[in-house]
Amino acid sequence: MVSILQTHKAISLFESKYPSCQGLFVFDNAPSHTKRPENALNADRMNVRDGGKQPFMQDTMWSGQVQKMVTEDGLQKGMKTVLDERGIDIKGMNASKMKEELLKFKASKTHMNTKIAIHNFT
């Protein structure tokens, strides 16, 4: 299994040895390649309400604006707050329906995508 660090090193070595060439790196669908940062926006790990045992998640972009994932009181935002800020009517929604709505948003980049992007690979 190839780690993220190994991938970063491989790309760096390739770029230093072949600066005028374009590399092609192929990855299988191993779970390590789809791992996201611990603070990535993740509906499966969010509470319905603010605070509680959910993780602190990184801020995200919404309609070209930064959406803070922490309230002014320093609590982690729950699904209700995030959806409400995005103008989605949550009346009558249960937790499953809220999660379904959040899953429609663009996912955070994986660790692998982030490391590859540093090298301007796509």
Each residue's pLDDT tens digit, 3-45 = 667 877 888 899 999 999 888 877 666 665 566 677 777 788 8
Structure-model confidence comparison of residues 8 and 83, the more confident one: 83
Residue 2 CA to residue 6 CA, distance in Å, equals 6
Q: For the chain, give the mean pLDDT.
A: 80
pTM of the model: 0.58
Q: Is the pLDDT of residue 74 over 80?
A: yes
* Averaged pLDDT, 89-105: 84
Give me the helix-helix angle, 4-17 and 111-118, nearest 10°.
Answer: 20
